[in-house]
Amino acid sequence: MNILAPSILSADFNCLGEDIRKVEEAGVKWLHIDVMDGSFVPSISYGMPVIASIRKHTELFFDVHLMVEEPGRYIQDFKNCGADQLIVHAEACKHLDSTLRLIKKAGMRAGVALNPATPLSVLEYVLPLVDMVLIMTVNPGFGGQTYIETCTEKVRKLKKMVTEAGLDVDIQVDGGINRQTLPTVLDAGANIIVAGSSVFGGNIQENARELMTMMGESGIK
Ligand code: DX5
Ligand code: ZN
């Protein structure tokens, strides 16, 4: 199933609740929430208090992307504030296997993210543990960057790897996805599409509906 996951990093934080209500009304089902620690990535975004606050006002699926060193330290905190899925970076975990198992044990879906330069081989022994793999299509840290073309081949290879292993693992892409790059990643095998500036820049509802239509996601609640 194809799913659009708008990234609130590009929302207007002065009216965050209103922006979330707009994507929800457009029929979006997932919200992508980028948490940055200023160490794994240069920037700092937002964390538990913001997530707990928006959780009170929406039923959307919370897809939480942790750009954080040793995210295993915060699994229960993110569960408590309402995360439905936690994505950790392979590059940020000393004990990736254990971190993924702890996320599952806490009752959330587990995702593993790979930076553009990280090879797919790091997934070899953890693929059966995860619900989703996030292929970063920009270097993480900021919204509004340009899609890195070499990532298309990486998505294609991952799709083959998942199919050959006979696993049911979603493939997410994140960074530089817009009307131009969306067809490319869908064709390569991605099915969960993060979009920040291409949803929240301009008319939010029109943008969300148009991207969902291109993906064959109905938007019907
Ligand atoms: C970047 C974040 C992305 C970001 C994407 O590090 O992980 O989720 O919000 O923004 P766009 O879609 O504008 O590239
Ligand atoms: Zn993200």
What pLDDT is stored for residue 221 in this prediction? 47
DSSP codes, 54-109: HHTT---EEEEEEE-SSGGGGHHHHHHTT-SEEEEEGGG-TTHHHHHHHHHHTTSE
- Structural domains in the chain plus CATH codes: 3-215 (3.20.20.70)
pTM over 0.95: yes
The kind and range of the H/E element at 130 are none
Q: Minimum-distance ligand to the CA of 111? A: 2
Q: Which residue among 7, 88, 172 has the greatest number of ligand 1 atoms within 8 angstroms of its CB, and so is best to mutate?
A: 7
Phi then psi dihedrals of residue 106, to 5 deg: -75, 0
Q: How confident is the prediction along the chain (221 residues), in pLDDT tens digits per residue?
A: 999 999 999 999 999 999 999 999 999 999 999 999 999 999 999 999 999 999 999 999 999 999 999 999 999 999 999 999 999 999 999 999 999 999 999 999 999 999 999 999 999 999 999 999 999 999 999 999 999 999 999 999 999 999 999 999 999 999 999 999 999 999 999 999 999 999 999 999 999 999 999 999 866 54
Closest ligand 1 atom to the C-alpha of 147? 14
Interstrand relation of 109-114 and 132-136 (parallel, antiparallel or unpaired): parallel
Distance 209 CA to ligand 1 centre (A): 19
Instruction: Locate 176 and state its tokens.
Output: 């530089």
Rounded CA-CA distance 65/58 in Å is 18
Report the C-alpha gap between 24 and 199 in whole angstroms: 12
Sheet with 192-195, side-by-side order of all strands: 3-6, 192-195, 170-174, 132-136, 109-114, 85-89, 61-67, 30-36
Whether 140 contacts 90, CB under 8 Å: no
Q: Using a 6 Å CB cutoff, which residues line ligand 1? A: 7, 9-10, 32, 34, 65, 138, 140-145, 174-177, 194-198
Report pLDDT for 219. Answer: 61
